Amino acid sequence: MNRVVIVICDSLRADLITARDAPFLTHFGQRSARFAAHRSVFPSTTRTSAASIATGCLPARHGLLGNTMALDEGDGLVCLSVGKPDFRDRLHRATGRTLHMPTLAERVSRAGETAIAISNVSPGAAYFLDPDGFGWVYNPAGSYGPGRRPLPAEEGLAISKGAAGDSTATERFCEEVLRGRAPAIALLWLSEPDYTGHHTPLGSPAHRRAIASADANVSRVAETVSSLDPTGENILFVVGSDHGMETVDETIDLDRLLIDAGLKHAPSSSDVVVAPNGSAALLYFSDPAGALVEQVACFLETQSWIGQAFVGPSLVAAGLPTNSTMQIALTLKPDERANSHDVPGHSHVVRDALEPKDATGFGQHGGLGKNEQRPFLFIFGGGFAPGVRERRSSLIDIAPTVLRHLGLTAAGMDGQPLPFHPTGTS
């Protein structure tokens, strides 16, 4: 039976895969199908990316609009962290549903097959891989079986973010999931180098050790895959990241700017609610058809820290919905200056009242900057010829590629199955 194994190294930028820090991935990329123009979605946050990898759809269609989102739970719009363990239930209560499109787990479950995910990132990013419980999802905040049946603690994933936890997760993934349970789709989501990248300068010794830990964990999975399928015919092995990172430059307090401009009543008011997403921000309006949308848009045009603003109908161009209370999306201004470790790319970020730490000089993502929009993607086996694909690809192309390998239809997805052969050959 055909199977798919997916490993995501959170935040690993394609250009930071070097022979020095990631010897396995460097070599593996050379013997795999390598997608040289691979892009994230917008916002380029892990929770949005997880939903796009799971559904093969842009946020416009799956509905998960960032690491934070404004929800009206009865008392007006409030910005919430999507990463919290209870966000999935709160979203469901407030809107009557979770993701608006079916996930890979749902699609294979309907075909009588199984999906198992082990994710060492935020509970939100883990649960939105399969929010309605068609397969198994393991996360340190709580693990679930089909029907969203909570698993007993002894079957759970008692690990921490970082290299040690990732290594434990990888061992369990290889032994229990790949060798023991052998599901149609097995997905491992590593916390590194994202976890360390948010707390240290990109390219610093600690960040490079985090990249090396992800490299070692992928190597371990690759050994397991090749022992289970020496010819590479049955197992489609997908290794990639969800997005890259930029170095944080200035932090913009957008709530304060809007209040000072007379466009927002108070930090907790619902008239306009800023959902900060690192180097992006999404603005929700209690009256999405009201005059305030245009007034805020005009104000934002005067702000030099903004890279690009998408307002109303132009949200389509950013892959975002036009028919929700979210009516303005911003990506902040990036620049290509290198940091003190010679890693190029800076960006401003929007202050996050839910996580008000100063991350100046550390890694962040969320916007459309060149380096945060630089995930990597290597595919090995399953009929993929080695070599470089120059044509642009996206996170949303992974799910249709997975389904093609499993012989299932990808009807309704935004993405396209990825090409078996390198650019310029057939």
Nearer to Zn ion, 192 or 194 (CB): 194
CB of 46 to Zn ion, least distance (A): 5
Least Cβ distance, residue 358 to Zn ion (angstroms): 16
Of 100, 126, 120, 236, nearest to 168 (Cα)? 120
- State which residue, 194 or 255, has the beta carbon closest to Zn ion: 194
Question: Judged by CB, which is closer to Zn ion: 14, or 257?
Answer: 14
- Give me the least distance between CB of 365 and Zn ion, in Å please: 6
Minimal distance in Å, beta carbon 194 to Zn ion? 4
Please work out the total of residues on this chain that contact Zn ion, with binding judged by CB under 5 A.
1
Least separation in angstroms between residue 340's CB and Zn ion is 21
Pairing of strands 77-81, 185-190: unpaired
Please choose, from the candidates 256, 198, 212, the residue with its C-alpha nearest in 3D space to the C-alpha of residue 372.
Answer: 198
Question: Judged by CB under 5 A, which stretch of 69-77, 187-195, 352-360, 390-398 contacts Zn ion?
Answer: 187-195
- Segment interacting with Zn ion, rule: CB under 5 A, options 189-197, 259-267, 341-349, 403-411: 189-197
Q: Tell me: does residue 372 bind Zn ion (CB under 5 A).
A: no
Of 113 and 194, nearer to Zn ion (C-beta) is 194
The stretch among 71-79, 194-202, 322-330, 414-422 that binds Zn ion (CB under 5 A) is 194-202
Q: Of 319 and 363, which CB lies nearer to Zn ion in the complex structure?
A: 363
249 near Zn ion (CB under 5 A): no
Of 143 and 364, CB closest to Zn ion = 364
Select from 193-201, 233-241, 313-321, 372-380 the region that touches Zn ion (CB under 5 A).
Answer: 193-201
Q: How far apart are CA 423 and CA 426, in angstroms?
A: 8
| Least CB distance to Zn ion at residue 121 (A) | 8
Q: Which is nearer to Zn ion, 115 or 349 (CB)?
A: 349
> Nearest residue to Zn ion, using CB?
194
Rounded to the nearest whole angstrom, what is the least distance from the CB of residue 66 to Zn ion in the complex? 12
Asked if 192 is part of the footprint of Zn ion (rule: CB under 5 A), the reply reads no
Tell me if 194 contacts Zn ion by CB under 5 A: yes
Which residue from 1, 31, 36 is spatially nearest to 389, judged by alpha carbons? 36
Nearer to Zn ion, 130 or 194 (CB): 194
| Residues that bind Zn ion in the complex, under the rule CB under 5 A | 194
